[in-house]
Amino acid sequence: MLYAILCYHSEDIVGSWTKEEDDAVMARLAVVQEGLAKNGRLGPVVRLLPTTAATTLRKDHEPPLVLDGPFAETKEQLLGFYVVNCASLDDALESARELASANPGGSYEIRPVALFNPGVAMT
Amino acid sequence: MTDLAWIDSALSSARPQAVAALVRYFRDLDIAEEAFQEACLKALRHWQKNGPPRDPAAWLIFVGRNSAIDAVRRRGKERALPDEATISDLDDAETAVAEQIDNADYRDDILRLLFVCCPPDLPATQQIALALRVVSGLSVKQIARAFLVGESAMEQRITRAKSRIAAAGVPFEAPGAVERAERLAAVAAMIYLIFNEGYSASGNEIDARAPLCNEAIRLARLLLRLFPAEPEIMGLLALMLLQRARAPARFDADGGIILLEDQDRRLWSRPMIAEGLALVDKAMRHQRPGPYQVQAAIAALHDRAEQPADTDWVEIDLLYAVLERLQPSPVVTLNRSVAVAKTKGPAAALALIEPLEQRLSGYFHFFGVKGALLMKLGRAAEARIAFDQAIALASTAAEATHIRVHLDRLMKDDPPDRKAPASR
């Protein structure tokens, strides 16, 4: 079963990391990801730019309304996500725990995937 | 990351909002700062023991406000308020504060806090120092290091700036639409000053001053989150990101300047460029061009070019023409001449800048550009005069070195004896 691991954290806090701190977190996460990839369980890995770079299209208007900024103003923001293949929720939680120990702070939302279309390979 | 590191980032990211709200309560910068310091000390104790609160800024505002009121009462020999140990467990109280600081409110709070740091009659360096101290919470020592002055001199500068602000009075009423736009423009200019203080550093100053660039970017992101639909704030943030992206390639091992066309573009920060380009796109959609957006668009054209030869100089020339209309200034025309030299040749560029000589007679960049153009035209003797004038006007060793780099390069590319045999 595929699970999305959605990464929520305060972008203020993540944004105040120095380059060295950021690099160190990314390096620790890369180790966990390598382990998952070796077992054929790692799908797409996405890190998003800050919410200030976001644009929202409200579809409940006709024509749809274009708004600057993220969809929701929240204390913690969606900063990225993983797709991993896990046998069970326990497995998914275990992977999320490993990622969490590499990158503490914030929350992961573990969400089973209903449909997965890998699209085309992009570089 | 250790608990302490987490608390440190949480405190520094909550600072602008918390200090801004405390300034609204107490209408006094010093009391607000003291209250915030007090709250931070308590946060260190409590957060380590009890874990982080749901809303760090609300917690700090609540605890800071109570400590300050408490201090005032103690001074008045009145009954003290309950200890914060009881207060901080009252989740309802924190929630009430959190609700009070809704978006509209704290948006104006933070804008006010930034705005009080930049009254037009306060010299730019004092504005910057004050904002870095009050809003960003850098220590006097850190700011002094960034400005390459002693700690006590910086302390004095900040104290002077604060007393001038106290004398002028802080504008506490909620701003109207026009006033809000004016405050936003003043604050944007101040943030760009902070950035340029960091960005103009060279040689052995780079490490000390680079944090100013990061702080300016952080403040612009904060401002854009508060005013998400302001194209000029998008432009400001984009402009700084697109310039900062080149930082790793701007200096050689000895701290010497590497010109844009000689930089190793593989060293440029791709995520910063991506973010900057995204913001330029977002801003353009509003069709309300302004100086920051146009400058960001120019920076974007440089950053998009994988090789110097790929640079779209025609578009850059057009954008400079727009900038000249929006913000007429001889310096803008001077910058445009670099693009004109690429598209129409050095003679056209020289014709563009010659009328500026009187107004820019004290500006070293003018003579640098003039010298370069004359050199390209093979007028070596006149070029040397211009370069000498530039070096005489350089205010720092780095500026002088920059001109010499320029000179050396042109000497190498276009040896004057080949180009201008007549003058020999």
Give the range among B32-41, B77-86, B104-113, B364-373 with minimum mean pLDDT. B77-86
Q: What pLDDT, on the 0 to 100 scale, is given for residue B90?
A: 45
Contact between B215 and B136 under an 8 Å Cβ cutoff? The reply is: yes
Q: What are phi and psi of A43, to 5 degrees?
A: -95, -150
Query: Which of B9, B225, B274 lies at the smallest CB-CB distance from A49?
Result: B274
Q: What pLDDT, on the 0 to 100 scale, is given for residue B51?
A: 80
Element of type H or E holding A62: none
Largest distance between two CA atoms of chain B? 92
User: pTM for the complete prediction?
Assistant: 0.85
For residues B299-320, give the mean pLDDT. Answer: 96
Quick: pLDDT tens for B338-354. 999 999 999 999 999 99
Euclidean distance between the first and final Cα of chain B, in Å? 67
Q: What pLDDT, on the 0 to 100 scale, is given for residue B289?
A: 95
Give yes or no for residue B193 having a pLDDT over 80. Answer: yes
Question: Which residues of chain A does B242 touch, with a Cβ-Cβ cutoff of 8 Å?
Answer: none
Q: How far is Cα A101 from Cα A123, in angstroms, rounded to an integer?
A: 29
Quick: pLDDT tens for A61-117. 899 999 999 998 788 899 999 999 999 999 999 999 999 999 988 999 999 999 999
Element of type H or E holding B232: helix B231-244
Q: Give Cα B89 distance to the centre of its chain.
A: 39
Give yes or no for residue A24 having a pLDDT over 70. Answer: yes
Question: Which residues of chain B does A75 touch, with a Cβ-Cβ cutoff of 8 Å?
Answer: 54-55
Element of type H or E holding A45: strand A42-47
Give yes or no for residue B290 having a pLDDT over 60. Answer: yes
Contact between B341 and B369 under an 8 Å Cβ cutoff? The reply is: no
Contact between B35 and B67 under an 8 Å Cβ cutoff? The reply is: yes
Query: Which of A17, A50, A75 lies at the smallest CB-CB distance from B221?
Result: A50
Contact between B146 and B208 under an 8 Å Cβ cutoff? The reply is: yes
From chain A residues 27-46, the ones with a CB under 8 A of any chain B CB are: none
B110-121 core/surface letters (b: 16 or more CB in 10 A; e: else): bbbbbbbbbbee
Do the chains contact at A50 and B275, CB–CB below 8 Å?
Answer: yes
Do the chains contact at A13 and B278, CB–CB below 8 Å?
Answer: no
Give yes or no for residue B87 having a pLDDT over 60. Answer: no
Q: What are phi and psi of A81, to 5 degrees?
A: -160, 160
Work out the pLDDT band at B156, boundaries 50, 70, 90. Answer: very high
Q: How far is Cα B372 from Cα B389, in angstroms, rounded to an integer?
A: 13
Question: Which residues of chain A does B271 touch, with a Cβ-Cβ cutoff of 8 Å?
Answer: 49
Give yes or no for residue B75 having a pLDDT over 70. Answer: no
For residues B298-317, give the mean pLDDT. Answer: 96
Q: What pLDDT, on the 0 to 100 scale, is given for residue B251?
A: 87
For residues B389-418, give the mean pLDDT. Answer: 71
Tokens of A7: 């990464």
Question: Which residues of chain B does A49 touch, with a Cβ-Cβ cutoff of 8 Å?
Answer: 271, 274-275, 278
Work out the pLDDT band at B77, boundaries 50, 70, 90. Answer: low
B224 contacts chain A (CB < 8 A): yes
B95 vs A108 pLDDT, higher one: A108
Q: How far is Cα B198 from Cα A7, in angstroms, rounded to an integer?
A: 33
Work out the pLDDT band at B424, boundaries 50, 70, 90. Answer: very low
Contact between B400 and B391 under an 8 Å Cβ cutoff? The reply is: yes
Do the chains contact at A16 and B13, CB–CB below 8 Å?
Answer: yes
Per-residue DSSP letters for B18-54?
HHHHHHHHHS-HHHHHHHHHHHHHHHHHHHHHH---S
Give yes or no for residue B28 having a pLDDT over 70. Answer: yes
Q: Is B222 exposed, middle or buried (0-12, 13-18, 19+ CB in 10 A)?
A: buried
Give yes or no for residue B373 having a pLDDT over 90. Answer: yes
Q: What pLDDT, on the 0 to 100 scale, is given for residue B7?
A: 83
Work out the pLDDT band at B229, boundaries 50, 70, 90. Answer: very high
Q: How far is Cα B84 from Cα B251, in angstroms, rounded to an integer?
A: 51
Residue that the structure tokens 């701190």 belong to: A21
Q: What are phi and psi of B150, to 5 degrees?
A: -70, 160
Question: Which residues of chain B does A104 touch, with a Cβ-Cβ cutoff of 8 Å?
Answer: 1, 6
Work out the pLDDT band at B409, boundaries 50, 70, 90. Answer: low
B102 vs A110 pLDDT, higher one: A110
DSSP state of B285: T
Query: Which of B9, B225, B228 lies at the smallest CB-CB distance from A16?
Result: B9
Work out the pLDDT band at B397, boundaries 50, 70, 90. Answer: confident
- If you count residue pairs, one on A and one on B, with CB atoms under 8 Å apart, how many are there? 56
Work out the pLDDT band at B421, boundaries 50, 70, 90. Answer: very low
A104 contacts chain B (CB < 8 A): yes
Q: What pLDDT, on the 0 to 100 scale, is given for residue B101?
A: 54
Chain B: closest CA distance from residue A78 (Å): 15
Do the chains contact at A69 and B228, CB–CB below 8 Å?
Answer: yes
Q: How far is Cα B378 from Cα B422, in angstroms, rounded to an integer?
A: 10
Residue type, B237: L
Question: Which residues of chain A does B274 touch, with a Cβ-Cβ cutoff of 8 Å?
Answer: 49
Tokens of B288: 């309300």
Q: Three-state DSSP class for A76?
A: coil
For residues B159-172, give the mean pLDDT. Answer: 80
Contact between B338 and B349 under an 8 Å Cβ cutoff? The reply is: yes
Q: How far is Cα B362 from Cα B385, in angstroms, rounded to an integer?
A: 15
Chain B: closest CA distance from residue A3 (Å): 26
Question: Which residues of chain B does A15 touch, with a Cβ-Cβ cutoff of 8 Å?
Answer: 13, 218, 221
Q: How far is Cα B323 from Cα B186, in angstroms, rounded to an integer?
A: 19
Residue that the structure tokens 């070096």 belong to: B391
Query: Which of B5, B13, B278 lies at the smallest CB-CB distance from A53?
Result: B278
Work out the pLDDT band at B411, boundaries 50, 70, 90. Answer: low
Q: Three-state DSSP class for A111?
A: strand
Contact between B331 and B362 under an 8 Å Cβ cutoff? The reply is: no
